[in-house]
Amino acid sequence: MNRKTLFVYLGTLLAMIALIPVGMVQADGHCEFADEAITIGALVPLSAPGSVEGGIAMQWAIEHAASGINADCGIQINGGNYRLEIVVGDSEGSPERGQAAVERLILEDNVDAVVGVYHSAVGLATMTMLDDNGIPTVFSEPWNDNVSANGIIEYEGKPPRIEDGIDHIFRISPASSMVGPVVVNWLLSLGVENVVLIAENTDYGQPAAADETARLEAAGVNVEKLDVELGTEDFVPILSRIQASPETPDAVRLLVTGETSLNLTQQMAELGIAPTGDTICVTNQYAFNSDTYWGTVPDGNYCAFNRVGIIPSLFNDLGTELNAAFEEAWGKLVPSYAMASYDAVHIIANAMEQAGSYSDAATIVAAIEATDLELSQGRYYFDYGSHNPDLPEGTPAFMWHQWPDPIVTVMQYFEQDQSALNAAVVYPEVYQTHGSSYIVPGTSP
Amino acid sequence: MVIQDTLFVLWLLAAGPLWAALGMFLLPSVNQGKAEKDQISTTTLRIAGVVAGFALGPIGVGLFYFEPALIRRTTLTAGIILTVFVSSQVLVRIINPDLPSGLWLILAGPLWAALAAYFLPRQYRAVEANDQNVLTAAALGGFAIGPLIFGLMWKNTPKISRDWMIVLGSLGAWQIYTLFAIHNATNPCVAAPFHITYLTQQTANGIVIGAIYSLMAVGLTLIYSVQGIVSFAHGQLYMVGGYFSFYFLLHGSNVLSELTGAEISINPIWGIPVAAVIVFIMGAVFERIFLKPMHEGLIERVSEYAILITFGFGFFIEYTTLAIAGPFPQRADRFIEIRRFQLAKTQITEEFAFGPINIIGDRAFTMVVGIVLIFALLYFLQRTWTGRALRATSQDRQAAAVTGINPTNMNTLSFGLGSMLAAMSGAALIPIFAWVPWVGAEMVGRSYVIVVLGGLGSVPGALLGGIIVGIVEALGAGCHPDPSRGAAYKEAFALVIFALVLLLKPTGLFGREQT
């Protein structure tokens, strides 16, 4: 082979390599895609101290939603098919790392919208940046009340921030103040008089504990609150303190997330504090991952936990499909934050199609406000926003751009190694599956 | 003063000052009729008499009188601690709870600690006296007895022995406890009659977890003593040791079950040697490839290199584990089927009961494993040729080389052994904690505190340091006046110890001065 022939071959090869991505952009099976792609940023925790398990599940759900949308020829805007690309930012569960990730998503990756966020601290730290840069955002897991209120707390009793411009932040996870009442009302219905609240020292744990304490104390319940740091492994000294209390608590309620909640629950059970005939154990919704729960909390039978998100028996077709895909990928039931992340991508995609634009933030926000869409967790809509700016008297500020219908239930295991699918829903009564509002340890419903 | 506590009156009769005075008077007579070389110093005997009489009354005095061989540093230390504890209990009952702690702040406390720590070492240097431990003794003394410490140390500039430190430290601790009790009368650590049980429970919690902490810290200190570097991959080696054990147990049990047709679950104890062997090899190979060039002079900035390369090794292990094992928490089966050991409640007097004391079964088992492994390591270091060679290399590399020891091999061995110890503690703890790829982060921070407290390079120091850190954390979290904050500050209590050690005794409890 002479040198000229070699150059021709090499040139052809290089041209083919260069053309591969162009071809991929231009055609994907039956779809003809536009040259430009729409980019959505996924802000999730993928490193400690964040909840890595949560972050990975959310990332999977976001990418799964994007690949489904692309398989249906992407986002259709003005007759064009736009491929959806996901760029992932690792928040590490920390506000400053979250801000750095958002800065990169906005300035370097030029994202058109953002979804995700697991930790409230990250949501609180990044929402102003996202809002200032006009990025339509749908948060899928932070619970802190001020996330969707987004500073509106200062405007209490007045028309919301619409006066200052467009609010780009939406939330489809519940606010802590939507979750707290369910657990508190359940405990009150059981007649508790002394409750120990163990709360993580974060923007989720502290406000949630304050809210639940206020509700319990208003009902005449004596509350002792203990704070713990996420990542702590040994809780025996502080649990010994509970054991030393002159009065045995009627319930121990954990407002602690991740593997920290698993360690705490197991140590509490090992020491014989709860669950017992005298003391109700209310652990974190992480217990819904039954394989992980039983693997790490073997003594945790009869613990109750709050479940946010639709319960398995009420899954619609999309929820069932998503759950099947998640089980195939991870061998576990799909968690609510993965379902919410999946839905968040669809909400944004739908809004862009309705708005007829992927770059006009104001129109996209207006389209999100007008959302009426059935997705994996149910029907999505937003009662309050620029389309309906006057919050009625008594409506909390966090209802602004807040999906009002996340389902919150209290579930309880009653058999060792039981699947979450078979765990009893004990509260609210309307969702009860075993005709009982509490299964006393040692008994069956 | 109103004495309502029956137990206190009983103690006044059965022990206390009366018996302390008797012990101080009586014990020096044990020297009578003995040859001068067999005699114990009168001062020691008087101290022993006071301590034994005050804390244990006639039993203590009798023990020392008939068995003077028992009068050793360890028994005296235990006696002083017991005396301090008992006397603090007495003070809590007789001092007016309204006594302002401001009085203490004027007469002793941090102000006098700072003054003594500033002036006394200067005085020692001015008169060219031995100033070893003077800073620590001055600070402790100022804190405990205020200006009196100047009277004791200024003119005579006595040599500061370990006994000085123990006495002054105990006095300081006693004052803090007393003041704490005065101002937090309902705290479970001081509120009679339950506080003895509660303090015992928390101390037991601390000892159990502290012994487990020690095992990991020992590995770190071993690497430092031989190579002079701090391994920043130690937390990840601890983590990966747990995972090796977990997957060995999981797959090993599955294979055995398939072979035998019966459900077989391998006890996690067998995961410890498996993790030990694998991680020893990992550590040794890493040392040979990445650290050996450092010792051969091929690397210019050795300290920075050691930090960065071990950091990198740690990140590599952590993220590889995350990729393979996933982020889902795991936990191995129990070592033993006993959920918890319980010392049952015993009614001692009508008002006072002791117990129950609870220790989680697996933790107790892990503590025993940890202590056995540490003693095995001590045996290896003290009694085997290879162990002695390691120690020799840690003391003087060149001299060791002259005697035929290969320092390069000792480096590899030390890193392998250190890594192995981290992995063994991980394998011992995976039945106790939920295991995730970043589980080592919290543990390794504590290990640094322990090795500094015990003295960098000292194995017994690491053991003692671990137990001290465990107790401090347990008592800190359990006794903090605000229960809500006690748990949140748990790790901070160890850091306070860390800061105090760096300030007052940078060499730690058993550390060597750098030459």
Same domain, B77 and B217: no
Note the pLDDT of residue A166. 65
Least-confidence region, from A111-115, A165-169, A202-206, B320-324: A165-169
Note the pLDDT of residue B72. 76
CB contact under 8 A, A237 and B360: no
State the Cα–Cα distance between residues B394 and B300, nearest whole angstrom.
22
Nearest to A268 by CA among A298, A231, A292, A294: A298
The last residue of a domain, from among B40, B69, B94: B94
- Residue A10 covered by a domain: no
Same domain, A81 and A166: yes
CB contact under 8 A, A296 and B473: no
A286-315 residues touching B, CB cutoff 8 A: 289, 291-292, 295-296, 298-299
3-state secondary structure of A358: coil
Q: Which residue of A has its CA nearest to B338?
A: A270
Q: Residue B359: beta bridge partners?
A: B341
Least-confidence region, from A148-157, A180-189, A379-388: A148-157
Residues 6 or more apart in contact with residue A342 via CB below 8 angstroms: A61, A62, A64, A65, A322, A375, A376
β B340-343/B346-347 pair status: unpaired
Note the pLDDT of residue B326. 84
Question: Is the predicted ipTM greater than 0.85, yes or no?
Answer: no
Quick check: B426 contacting A, CB < 8 Å? no
- Residue B179 covered by a domain: no
Structure token pair of residue A274? 């709860």
- Residue B452 covered by a domain: yes
- Residue B56 covered by a domain: yes
State the Cα–Cα distance between residues A204 and B195, nearest whole angstrom.
35
Note the pLDDT of residue B271. 96
Q: Is B192 exposed, middle or buried (0-12, 13-18, 19+ CB in 10 A)?
A: middle
Same domain, A133 and A280: no
State the Cα–Cα distance between residues A103 and A89, nearest whole angstrom.
10
Cis peptide before A428 (omega within 30 of 0): yes
CB contact under 8 A, B478 and A241: yes
Same domain, A424 and A393: no
Query: Could you tell me if B188 and B196 are in contact, meaning their C-beta atoms sit under 8 angstroms apart?
Result: no
Each residue's pLDDT expressed in tens, for chain B with a length of 515 residues? 444 456 667 777 787 778 888 888 888 888 887 787 778 888 788 888 888 888 788 888 888 888 888 887 777 777 777 776 666 666 666 655 555 566 666 777 788 888 898 899 999 999 888 887 888 889 888 888 888 888 888 888 888 887 888 888 888 888 888 778 877 888 888 887 778 899 999 999 999 999 988 998 999 999 998 988 999 999 999 999 999 999 999 999 999 999 999 989 999 999 999 999 999 999 999 999 999 999 888 888 888 999 999 999 999 999 999 889 988 899 999 999 888 898 888 888 777 888 789 899 999 999 999 999 999 999 999 999 999 999 999 888 889 999 999 999 999 999 999 999 999 999 999 999 999 998 998 888 889 899 989 888 888 899 999 999 999 999 999 999 888 788 778 888 888 888 888 877 788 888 766 54
Note the pLDDT of residue A154. 46
State the Cα–Cα distance between residues B469 and B443, nearest whole angstrom.
12
Quick check: B206 contacting A, CB < 8 Å? yes
Same domain, A23 and A171: yes
- Residue B272 covered by a domain: yes
Nearest to A268 by CA among A247, A249, A290, A291: A249
- Residue A257 covered by a domain: yes
Q: Residue A75: beta bridge partners?
A: A82
Note the pLDDT of residue A163. 53
- Residue A414 covered by a domain: yes
Same domain, A145 and A228: no
Note the pLDDT of residue A20. 45
Structure token pair of residue A331? 């061998």
- Residue B470 covered by a domain: no
User: What's the Cα-to-Cα distance from A115 to each of A123, A128, A169, A257, rounded to whole Å?
Assistant: 11, 15, 10, 21
Cis peptide before A275 (omega within 30 of 0): yes
Residues 6 or more apart in contact with residue B304 via CB below 8 angstroms: none
Query: Could you tell me if B480 and A270 are in contact, meaning their C-beta atoms sit under 8 angstroms apart?
Result: no
A240-259 residues touching B, CB cutoff 8 A: 240-241, 243-244, 259
Residues 6 or more apart in contact with residue A173 via CB below 8 angstroms: A139, A140, A141, A142, A143, A308, A336, A337, A340, A406
Q: What secondary structure, in 3-state letters, does B66-125 show?
A: HCHHHCCHHHHHHHHHHHHHHHHHHHHHHCCCCCCHHHHHHHCHHHHHHHHHHHHHHHHH
Structure token pair of residue A408? 């919150």
Same domain, B260 and B376: yes
Cis peptide before B193 (omega within 30 of 0): yes
Q: What is the CA radius of gyration of chain A?
A: 24
- Residue A361 covered by a domain: yes
Same domain, A292 and A420: yes
Nearest to B418 by CA among B310, B514, B324: B310
Reported confidence tier of residue A62, pLDDT bands at 50, 70, 90: very high
Same domain, B71 and B216: no
Supply the range of the domain harboring residue A88: 16-175+317-399
First to last CA, chain B: 56
Q: How many other CB atoms sit within 10 Å of the CB of residue B354?
A: 16
Examine the pLDDT at A158 and tell me if it is beyond 80: no
State the Cα–Cα distance between residues A60 and A332, nearest whole angstrom.
13
- Residue B431 covered by a domain: yes
CB contact under 8 A, A53 and B327: yes
- Residue A2 covered by a domain: no
3-state secondary structure of A58: helix
Note the pLDDT of residue A19. 47
- Residue B449 covered by a domain: yes
Among B201, B434, B491, whose Cβ lies nearest the Cβ of A229?
Answer: B491
Amino acid found at A424: A
Residues 6 or more apart in contact with residue A101 via CB below 8 angstroms: A43, A89, A90, A91
Quick check: A210 contacting B, CB < 8 Å? no
Structure token pair of residue B278? 């694998």
pLDDT digits (tens, 9 = 90+) for A63-107: 999 999 999 999 999 889 999 999 999 999 899 999 999 999 999
CB contact under 8 A, A244 and B198: yes
The last residue of a domain, from among B426, B445, B461: B461
Same domain, B454 and B318: yes
Same domain, B205 and B80: no
Query: Could you tell me if A420 and A290 are in contact, meaning their C-beta atoms sit under 8 angstroms apart?
Result: yes
CB contact under 8 A, A56 and B442: no
- Residue A8 covered by a domain: no
Query: Could you tell me if A126 and A43 are in contact, meaning their C-beta atoms sit under 8 angstroms apart?
Result: yes
pLDDT digits (tens, 9 = 90+) for A308-345: 888 887 889 999 999 999 999 988 889 899 999 999 99
B333-392 residues touching A, CB cutoff 8 A: 334, 339-340, 358, 360, 363
| CATH classification of the domain holding A109 | 3.40.50.2300
Residue with tokens 């009340």, as numbered in its chain: A145
Examine the pLDDT at A1 and tell me if it is beyond 70: no
- Residue A116 covered by a domain: yes
Supply the range of the domain harboring residue B6: 1-94
Q: What is the DSSP string of A116-152?
A: E---HHHHHHHHHHHHHTT--EEESS---THHHHTTG
Mean pLDDT, rounded, for A156-171: 63
Residues 6 or more apart in contact with residue A311 via CB below 8 angstroms: A407, A409, A411, A425, A431
- For chain A, what is the domain count? 2
Q: Residue A82: beta bridge partners?
A: A75
Which residues in B lie closer than 8 A to residue A254 (C-beta atoms)?
A: none
CB contact under 8 A, A270 and B201: no
CB contact under 8 A, B487 and A231: no
Residues, chain A, total? 445
Nearest to A281 by CA among A148, A154, A192, A393: A192
Q: Is B115 exposed, middle or buried (0-12, 13-18, 19+ CB in 10 A)?
A: middle
Residues 6 or more apart in contact with residue A254 via CB below 8 angstroms: A198, A261, A264, A265, A282, A283, A284
State the Cα–Cα distance between residues A127 and A142, nearest whole angstrom.
11
Same domain, A191 and A115: no
- Residue A4 covered by a domain: no
First to last CA, chain A: 82
State the Cα–Cα distance between residues B291 and B280, nearest whole angstrom.
15
Cα–Cα–Cα angle for B151, B156, B161, rounded to 5 degrees = 95
- For chain B, what is the domain count? 2
Same domain, A248 and A299: yes
Distance from CA of B339 to the nearest CA of A (A): 6
Element (H, E) at A378: strand A378-380
Distance from CA of B157 to the nearest CA of A (A): 42
Note the pLDDT of residue A3. 58
Q: Which long-range contacts (CB under 8 A, 24 or more apart) does A209-215 make?
A: A209/A255, A211/A145, A211/A176, A211/A177, A211/A180, A212/A180, A212/A183, A212/A184, A212/A253, A212/A255, A215/A180, A215/A181, A215/A184
Q: Which residue has the higher pLDDT, A30 or B123?
A: B123
Q: Is B134 exposed, middle or buried (0-12, 13-18, 19+ CB in 10 A)?
A: buried
Nearest to A263 by CA among A304, A300, A223: A300
State the Cα–Cα distance between residues A154 and B58, nearest whole angstrom.
71
The last residue of a domain, from among B52, B76, B94: B94
Residues 6 or more apart in contact with residue B335 via CB below 8 angstroms: B267, B268, B269, B361, B362, B365, B366, B431
Nearest to A397 by CA among A410, A409, A383: A383
- Residue B490 covered by a domain: no
Q: Is B334 exposed, middle or buried (0-12, 13-18, 19+ CB in 10 A)?
A: buried
Residues 6 or more apart in contact with residue A172 via CB below 8 angstroms: A138, A139, A140, A340, A343, A344, A347, A377, A380, A403, A406
CB contact under 8 A, B326 and A227: no
Same domain, A152 and A274: no
Same domain, A191 and A275: yes
Same domain, A150 and A23: yes
Note the pLDDT of residue A159. 46
Q: Which residue of B has its CA nearest to A293?
A: B329
Examine the pLDDT at A438 and tell me if it is beyond 50: yes
Same domain, A280 and A154: no
